[in-house]
């Protein structure tokens, strides 16, 4: 068979007697991975009538050539330098020592390497280099994702999966709810009861609710050290209010229409007008700030209807405007969707710089989810930020749901979200976006390196440079390069720790 040139230590697997007996420096070794083979020639190589004249034996260079493992008792081992073997020489023989894997695809079409042990034949042109590196391809994505999610956890960002980082890096629309502001109970009004009685009843109903308005009511009740009664039959209707039995009577807290419809006995229109006027008087007496807006929660009791109202102030977060400005710099459009009154939504939206057409008020949780679905239908990739049970449907509908951790307990919002901001700061949105983009950049760099390495290294190992430059890779060089390719992608992923705001201070 025609000889094939592979590497400097394994150019040929077949060479004839005419190509061996004239060699001046008798040495030729053939490397197959961890195994080394040499040529064994019958002692009567010059005698054409010798039965072994046309057969040479491949022997392990570490074996004793005079051992019984030789194919013929008259055979001797002749070692020739590989550089003296020329194209056109041929050899026939079997492996009598050592083991390795050989690529015979050029003969058989078999894509997998074939194991070669003692007694098995080897053929011309079949080689075993180890240079291609699927490890680098396999490590490119998971190493970057692991570093990215670990960095996020250290900075108070709970990111639930590498696919979340990929989706977050590609968003172009961010939906906010007004409740991401800090809520404070500022006023209580009633025509028949003391303010503390209205607060006591409201706190009893809201004490098990996981909602920012409920938190504001509970914080005020705890501040005043009120004794909160036991309740039973708790019922929550997201976006509308809560209902429970307190002191033997049903008590409801929520929107005006919802509370009115919970009971057969309803407050008269004149009573409701007087209650609103009284609340407005209290609010005007306390004064308001340009960075405050008000939400009203009504309190009703069985047999009486609406008996009081509680004003909740939205105190604009210090980092709210800065966060919206940064989003706009990143070409991300901000929307403000809320179930609160139009005036309250408009006040907050205009303060932080959200366009009027991107603000919607008086929405139910289902309507919020519908707006998000509409945006997705227009081709936008949407992230939603929420912090209450009302936001759970919207968080689930968005491409990426982001929950604000407003209390120590798990909530429906955090359960439905893909990202949880454990620090309860809007500015963490920017950190999450920056981290996701940096992580995906590392993934792309790693993949580009791994693909480029294999495209370049495999042809060189196959002998692409051999005819012109007389260069081919040895197994040791191939193995070293394969290891270095994996080290590169891991090291490149570790460099993510030096990214921007995520550097250690």
- Mind telling me the catalytic residues? 177
From residue 73, give the alpha-carbon distance in Å to each of 68, 142, 295. Answer: 8, 57, 103
Q: Are 59 and 70 in contact (CB under 8 A)?
A: yes
Q: Are 60 and 35 in contact (CB under 8 A)?
A: yes
Stretch (H or E) spanning 466: helix 466-469
Residue 99: CB atoms within 10 A of its CB come to: 15
Burial class (CB in 10 A: 0-12, 13-18, 19+), 313: buried
Nearest by Cα to 434 from 146, 147, 152, 140? 152
Q: Cα(404)–Cα(16) distance, rounded to whole angstroms?
A: 78
Nearest by Cα to 472 from 481, 485, 463? 463
Q: Which residues contact 162 (CB under 8 A, 6 or more apart)?
A: 141, 142, 145, 148, 149
**Token pair for 358:** 């991107």
Stretch (H or E) spanning 334: strand 333-337
**What angle do the packed helices 212-223 and 195-206 form, to 10 degrees?**
130
Letter string b/e over residues 57-80, b meaning 16 or more CB atoms within 10 A of that residue's CB:
bbbbbebebeeebbbeeebebbbb
* DSSP state letter for 181: S
Q: Cα(444)–Cα(441) distance, rounded to whole angstroms?
A: 5
The full DSSP string for 361-415 is: -S--HHHHHHHHHHHHHTT--EEEEE-SGGGHHHHHHSSEEEEE--SSS--HHHH
Residue 159: CB atoms within 10 A of its CB come to: 23
Q: Is 183 left (phi over 0), alpha (psi -120 to 50) or beta?
A: beta
Q: Return the bridge partners of 39, or none.
A: 58
Nearest by Cα to 199 from 174, 173, 227? 227
Q: Cα(402)–Cα(235) distance, rounded to whole angstroms?
A: 26
């Amino acid at each position: 068979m025609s000889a094939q040139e592979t590497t400097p230590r394994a150019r040929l697997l077949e060479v004839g007697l005419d190509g061996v007996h004239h060699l001046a420096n008798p040495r030729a070794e053939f490397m197959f991975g961890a195994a080394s083979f040499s040529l064994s020639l019958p002692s009567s190589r010059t005698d054409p009538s010798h039965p072994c004249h046309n057969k040479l034996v491949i022997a392990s260079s570490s074996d004793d050539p005079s051992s019984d493992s030789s194919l013929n008792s008259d055979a001797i081992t002749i070692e020739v330098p590989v550089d003296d073997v020329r194209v056109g020489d041929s050899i026939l023989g079997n492996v009598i020592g050592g083991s390795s894997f050989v690529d015979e695809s050029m003969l058989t079409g078999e894509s997998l390497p074939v194991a070669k042990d003692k007694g098995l034949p080897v053929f011309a042109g079949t080689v075993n280099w180890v240079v291609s590196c699927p490890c680098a391809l396999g490590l490119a994505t998971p190493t970057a994702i692991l570093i990215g999610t670990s960095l996020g956890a250290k900075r108070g960002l709970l990111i639930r999966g590498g696919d979340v980082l990929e989706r977050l890096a590609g968003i172009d629309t961010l939906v906010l709810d007004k409740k991401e502001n800090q809520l404070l109970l500022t006023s209580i009004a009633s025509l028949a009861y003391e303010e503390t009685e209205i607060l006591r009843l409201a706190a009893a109903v809201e004490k098990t609710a996981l909602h920012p308005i409920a938190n504001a009511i509970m914080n005020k009740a705890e501040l005043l050290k009120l004794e909160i009664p036991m309740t039973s039959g708790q019922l929550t209707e997201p976006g509308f209010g809560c209902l429970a039995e307190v002191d033997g009577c049903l008590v409801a807290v929520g929107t005006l229409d919802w509370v009115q419809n919970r009971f057969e006995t309803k407050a008269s229109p004149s009573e409701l007008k007087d209650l609103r006027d009284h609340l407005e008087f209290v609010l005007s007496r306390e004064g308001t700030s340009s960075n405050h807006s008000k939400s009203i929660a009504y309190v009703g009791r069985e047999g009486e209807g609406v008996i009081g109202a509680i004003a909740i102030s939205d105190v604009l977060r210090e980092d709210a405007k800065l966060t919206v400005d940064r989003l706009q710099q990143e070409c991300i459009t901000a929307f403000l969707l809320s179930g609160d009154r139009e005036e309250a939504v408009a006040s907050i939206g205009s303060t932080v710089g959200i366009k009027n057409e991107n603000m919607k008020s008086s929405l139910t949780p289902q309507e919020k989810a519908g707006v998000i679905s509409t945006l997705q239908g227009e081709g936008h990739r949407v992230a939603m930020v929420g912090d209450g049970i009302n936001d759970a449907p919207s968080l689930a509908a968005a491409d990426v749901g982001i929950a604000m951790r407003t209390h120590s307990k798990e909530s429906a919002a955090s359960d439905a979200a893909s990202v949880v901001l454990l620090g309860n700061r809007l500015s963490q949105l920017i950190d999450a976006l920056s981290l996701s983009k940096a992580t995906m950049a590392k993934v792309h760099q790693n993949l580009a390196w791994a693909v480029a390495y294999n495209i370049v290294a495999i042809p060189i190992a196959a002998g692409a440079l051999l005819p012109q430059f007389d260069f081919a890779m040895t197994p040791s060089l191939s193995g070293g390069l394969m290891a270095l390719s994996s080290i590169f992608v891991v090291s490149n992923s570790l460099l993510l720790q030096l990214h921007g705001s995520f550097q250690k201070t």
